[in-house]
Amino acid sequence: MLTFRGGVHPREDKEATEHKSVEVLPLPARVFIPLSQHTGAPSKAVVAKGSLVKTGTLIGEPAGRISAATHASVSGTVADVSDLPHPLTGRRGPTVVIDSDGADTPDDALGERDYSGFTNEQIVETLRLSGVVGLGGAAFPTYFKLTPPKEKPIDTLLINGCECEPFLTADHRLMLEQPAEMVEGVKIMSRVLGVQNVMIVIEDNKPDAVATMTSAAASSGFKVRKLRTKYPQGAEKQLIKACLKREVPSGGLPMDVGCVVQNVGTALAVRDALRLNRPLYERVTTVTGPAIKEPKNLRVRIGTPVKELLQFCGGYAAEVGKLIMGGPMMGIAVSTDEVPVLKGTSGVLVLDRAATVFDEHDCIRCGRCIEACPMGLAPQRLNNLIRRGQLEAAKAEHVKDCIECGCCAYACPAKIRLVHQFKYAKSELAAMERK
């Protein structure tokens, strides 16, 4: 079965939500929509305090070569446009606050249409203005991935349905509940890229999703492939290595090896943008973990405070040890449940204290971190260099190639916070390079 070198096998912990259909979260009374929730430049506000908006109305236009539009996720009145702390970085950035009128009136432009006559350029522009980004977590603007430079021809489109993070099941449920719409989105992307080789790849711990997607894609010519369940199977570089035996070069992108990778949820968002003229103002996310009473998969409006998701799931079941946006391996811990859901919020994980309390010890030189690293790095050596302040030496040892998957820290019997060190080093190196 297809796979890659390295990686780990953490407990899956998906049973709490994998058989639960997606529920729709009631409309929030107020949403907080950051204009930076994607890779690239933040969008530029086109509304002001007091503006009336409808669901799907443009509130932020793309403002750079790599940027994505932002839209109102409820109808109502703009209560404020101001700099608020970003949920993931903590840095202040422009945020549009909207008070819902409870009517959920759709923008006049929304509605089903025939896009079959659209040119590729029109499709790309539609996706740019619809604010569609990768929904697997990185939130890279989709239109940009679909317009590679001519000197980097693409021959393969990989549709990522691995969902390898423990606990998360949002993608799994979407594959079961909207397979035909998802395949339509894949057809749109394959047409724009002009590729014949399209693979929908799913880990073998989701046999029902493999069967459903195989049936939905039967007449399309797309291949559905099972991958061995192993973390981080869904990471782009590992996925490409497993499926195509190609290696993305250091500092490179999938397009450097003729490949584009898109998440299954992104395929659905692409279809909705073209077929329904619906911008990306909501997403499906998994709310789960040992410290939440009733785990669920929820369809949520972007900008909804996380606490409303938690309340809809019955509230906390135990003392919270850590609240994470995303999965336990690559997610970002947040200090409050007041933060809003973003386009890239694939899950909200609530861990109890028992799952988060551990002591760090000295390295015992067991080498497990090296065996686990899917990028072929030497994590403990990098850790030593960084702790000694030798950042340039760490750079020479390819710390910037670290994908922050957390395999090394998971495998480390001494519980050394390796990823924290690598994030710090990469941040410092980036700051040095900007000077």
User: Could you tell me which residues are annotated as the binding site?
Assistant: 363, 366, 369, 373, 402, 405, 408, 412
Amino acid, single-letter form, for residue 321: G
- The alpha helices in 194-245, defined as continuous H runs, are 207-216, 236-244
Q: 17-30 burial by CB neighbour count: b if 16+ within 10 A, else e?
A: bbebebeebebbeb
Name every residue whose Cβ is closer than 8 Å to that of residue 59 and which is 6 or more positions away in sequence: 33, 35, 45, 46, 47, 53, 70, 71, 72, 78, 96, 98
Q: Which two tokens stand for residue 7?
A: 């990686």
326 class by beta-carbon count within 10 Å (0-12 exposed, 13-18 middle, 19+ buried): buried
Whether the CB-CB separation of 386 and 425 falls below 8 Å is answered with: yes
Whether the CB-CB separation of 386 and 399 falls below 8 Å is answered with: yes
Residues at the binding site for [4Fe-4S] cluster are 363, 366, 369, 373, 402, 405, 408, 412
Within 10 Å of residue 168's Cβ, how many Cβ atoms? 28
Give the Cα separation of 130 and 301 in Å (integer): 15
CA triple 87-48-109, angle to 5 deg: 90
Count, residues in the chain? 435
Whether the CB-CB separation of 168 and 156 falls below 8 Å is answered with: no
Give the Cα separation of 205 and 10 in Å (integer): 13
Within 10 Å of residue 116's Cβ, how many Cβ atoms? 6
Give the Cα separation of 272 and 118 in Å (integer): 15
Which residue shows structure tokens 């693409």?
Answer: 154
Q: 334-343 burial by CB neighbour count: b if 16+ within 10 A, else e?
A: beebebbbbb
Of the candidates 198, 202, 200, 120, which has an alpha carbon nearest to the alpha carbon of residue 156?
Answer: 198
Give the Cα separation of 288 and 347 in Å (integer): 8
